[in-house]
């Protein structure tokens, strides 16, 4: 199994229109409001991803959740700070290749919105295949939700950068 390359953009077949903005969403005025919208948008994509990680991941021979991938980058922190959410990324004596600080025997201990965004953005090949082989309508809806999630994140980053 491939190591999860979290810094990379997810598979193009899922994200080929990832820059497309969702036209019909209301435009919140503040960073905190956009952050709330972003947080809520994770709930749209998470069930479909979880459905397929529960199928694929138990048989994985090289679990991708190493500590390097569980560390927040500055964009993750901008989002969490806008929510006033507590971050907990100070864990000493942990190597990049150690199991992720947030991994426990049941899997990731964080809600999806609390995770570094790369954890939601990356799909290994077996996971991607499993998603694509689901019902076509469900898969299309998932892709639309994912595009929406990414577009809200971009709005948040644009707002944070102003």
Q: Which residues bind ligand SF4 (CB under 6 A)?
A: 1, 4, 53, 56-57, 60, 63-65, 69-70, 100, 102-103, 108, 110, 115-116, 119, 124, 126-127
Q: Which is nearer to ligand SF4, 124 or 143 (CB)?
A: 124
Q: Which is nearer to ligand SF4, 14 or 56 (CB)?
A: 56
Provide, rounded to whole angstroms, the least separation between the CB of residue 68 and ligand SF4: 8
Q: Which is nearer to ligand SF4, 1 or 160 (CB)?
A: 1
Provide, rounded to whole angstroms, the least separation between the CB of residue 118 and ligand SF4: 7
Provide, rounded to whole angstroms, the least separation between the CB of residue 56 and ligand SF4: 5
Q: Is 52 exposed, middle or buried (0-12, 13-18, 19+ CB in 10 A)?
A: buried
Alpha helix segments (H runs only) across the chain: 12-15, 31-56, 74-83, 118-121, 125-132, 136-161
Q: Considering only CA atoms, which of 130, 125, 116, 114 is closest in space to residue 3?
A: 125
Q: Considering only CA atoms, which of 41, 106, 108 is closest in space to residue 69?
A: 108
Provide, rounded to whole angstroms, the least separation between the CB of residue 93 and ligand SF4: 17
Q: Which is nearer to ligand SF4, 28 or 126 (CB)?
A: 126
Query: Is residue 111 helix, strand or coil?
Result: coil
Q: Considering only CA atoms, which of 39, 38, 16 is closest in space to residue 144?
A: 16
């Amino acid at each position: 199994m491939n190591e999860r390359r979290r810094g990379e953009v997810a598979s193009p077949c899922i994200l080929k229109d990832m820059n497309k903005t969702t036209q019909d969403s209301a435009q919140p005025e503040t960073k905190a409001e956009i952050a709330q919208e972003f947080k809520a948008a994770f709930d749209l994509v998470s069930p479909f991803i979880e459905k397929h990680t529960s199928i694929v991941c138990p048989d994985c021979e090289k679990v991708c959740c190493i500590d390097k991938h569980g560390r927040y980058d500055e964009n993750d922190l901008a989002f969490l700070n806008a929510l006033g959410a507590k971050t907990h990324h100070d864990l000493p004596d942990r190597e990049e290749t150690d199991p992720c600080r947030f991994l426990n025997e049941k899997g990731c201990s964080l809600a999806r919105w609390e995770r570094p965004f790369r954890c939601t953005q990356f799909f290994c090949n077996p996971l991607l295949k499993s998603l694509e082989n689901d019902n076509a309508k469900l898969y299309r809806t998932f892709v639309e939700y994912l595009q929406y999630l990414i577009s809200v994140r971009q709005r948040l980053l644009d707002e944070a950068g102003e």
